[in-house]
């Protein structure tokens, strides 16, 4: 089993969907990633920053999942990063209503001493210089560095982003972002181009259409589980990344073949995430229900054509 370091936001979200709305609830990339990874019981540290307004119960929630929170700085007189958004009826697009960076504006990540030799590093969506700082603090080169990012950084910090992309093994990115980053419409060609930028593995997330894993001339496709309703997509991508990273850290096998399984685990955990608001559904997942859903993924994808 590997140790896992996660950097990302720990935040308040306020969400409106066609199904209802929330007050400020627990959110943030590192939160979703951490909760998903905690399913695999790996030694995990979250590196982030919150304000004095951040409830102890939320920190306890992470601690109780055996996530080391000593790397979550608490700025007593600061406020926690807050995002508010409203999803459209199709749940595939959303408007950001509020973004308050607050303490995140001056965030200087500090990796806990006993995690500077972690084998797996998951760089959640943040300014690429923050992601770079985490890599710089690692005393031994991670066996697997995974980076998530978004179009915002392509628009306003492209050089920094390209510099950190150069240093990671895996990138997770959505389809439109892959197209923006490369100027290529074909995801296959986009993934080829991204591999020349550094990452040997490219994961392209397509929301309700699933996710693709690319490596050299190989491709693997994990569908999203067809669901009766997507209640709240917030955090689904991070939950996917957390499941992906957590599974790989647990199995300590970073081969392409095993990454296929990691993509399936990521999709499985993400399929739970969207069933309720925020972290509600992924806070408590039993082995049995995850196992059950993995069986659904098998039924959904496995076929039996005889090929000599």
- Residues binding its own copies (CB under 8 A): 89-91, 185-189, 191, 206, 209-210, 212, 214, 218-221, 223, 226-230, 257, 260-261, 264-265, 291, 294-295, 298-305, 307
Contact 146, 205 (CB under 8 A): no
- Shortest CB 42 distance to its own copies, Å: 17
Name, in order, each residue with C-beta under 8 angstroms of 122's C-beta and a sequence gap of 6 or more.
Answer: 4, 5, 6, 7, 8, 33, 37, 146, 148, 241, 242, 245
Measured CA to CA, the distance from residue 285 to residue 36 in angstroms comes to: 9
Nearer to its own copies, 64 or 218 (CB): 218
CB nearer its own copies, residue 57 or residue 226: 226
Place of tokens 């073949």: 257
- 23's CB contacts (< 8 A; 6+ apart) are 14
**What is the closest distance, in whole angstroms, from the C-beta atom of residue 52 to its own copies in the complex?**
41
Q: Where are the alpha helices (DSSP H) in 123-201?
A: 128-137, 151-156, 158-165, 175-182, 187-197
- Any idea which residue has 């994990």 for tokens? 222
CB 224 within 8 Å of CB 271:
yes
Closer to its own copies at the Cβ: 107 or 265?
265
CA 157, chain centre distance (Å): 20
Q: Which of 80, 133, 132 is nearest to 105 (CA)?
A: 80
CB of 79 to its own copies, least distance (A): 36
- Judge contact between 160 and 127, C-beta under 8 A: yes
Judged by CB, which is closer to its own copies: 158, or 188? 188
CB closer to its own copies, 72 vs 187: 187
| Span between the terminal Cα atoms of the chain, in Å | 38
**CB 102 to its own copies: min, Å:** 35
Of the candidates 52, 55, 48, which has an alpha carbon nearest to the alpha carbon of residue 32?
A: 48
Q: How far is the CB of 47 from its own copies (least distance, A)?
A: 30
Q: How far is the CB of 8 from its own copies (least distance, A)?
A: 26
* CB closer to its own copies out of 140 and 302: 302
CB of 265: closest distance to its own copies in angstroms?
8
Q: By C-beta, is 70 or 258 nearer to its own copies?
A: 258
CB of residue 139 to its own copies, shortest distance in Å:
33
Toward its own copies, which CB reaches closer, 89 or 140? 89
C-alpha torsion 295→296→301→304, nearest 10: 60
């Amino acid at each position: 089993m590997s140790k896992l370091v996660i950097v990302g936001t720990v935040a308040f979200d306020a969400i409106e969907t066609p199904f209802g709305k929330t007050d400020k609830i627990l959110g943030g990339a590192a939160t979703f990633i951490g909760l998903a990874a905690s399913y695999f019981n790996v030694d995990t540290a979250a590196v982030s920053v919150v304000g004095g307004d951040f409830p102890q119960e939320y920190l306890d929630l992470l601690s109780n999942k055996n996530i080391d929170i000593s790397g979550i700085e608490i700025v007593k007189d600061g406020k926690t990063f807050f995002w508010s958004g409203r999803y459209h009826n199709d749940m595939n697009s959303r408007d950001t209503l509020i973004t308050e960076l607050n303490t995140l504006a001056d965030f200087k990540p500090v990796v806990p001493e006993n995690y500077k030799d972690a084998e797996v590093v998951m760089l959640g969506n943040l300014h690429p210089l923050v992601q770079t700082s985490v890599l710089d603090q690692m005393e031994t080169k991670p066996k697997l560095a995974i980076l998530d990012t978004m179009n915002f950084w392509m628009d306003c910090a492209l050089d920094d982003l390209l510099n950190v992309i150069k240093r990671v093994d895996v990138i997770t990115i959505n389809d439109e972002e892959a197209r923006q980053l490369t100027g290529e419409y074909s995801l296959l060609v986009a993934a080829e181009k991204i591999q020349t930028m550094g990452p040997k593995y490219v994961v392209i997330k397509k929301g309700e259409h699933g996710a693709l894993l690319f490596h050299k001339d190989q491709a693997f496709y994990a569908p999203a589980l067809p669901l009766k309703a997507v209640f709240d997509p917030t955090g689904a991508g991070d939950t996917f990344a957390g499941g992906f990273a957590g599974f790989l850290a647990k199995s300590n096998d970073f081969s392409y073949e095993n990454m296929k399984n990691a993509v399936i685990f990521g999709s499985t955990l993400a399929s739970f995430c969207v069933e309720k608001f925020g972290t509600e559904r992924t806070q408590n997942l039993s082995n049995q229900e995850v196992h059950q859903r993995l069986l659904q993924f098998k039924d959904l994808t496995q076929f039996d054509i005889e090929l000599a």
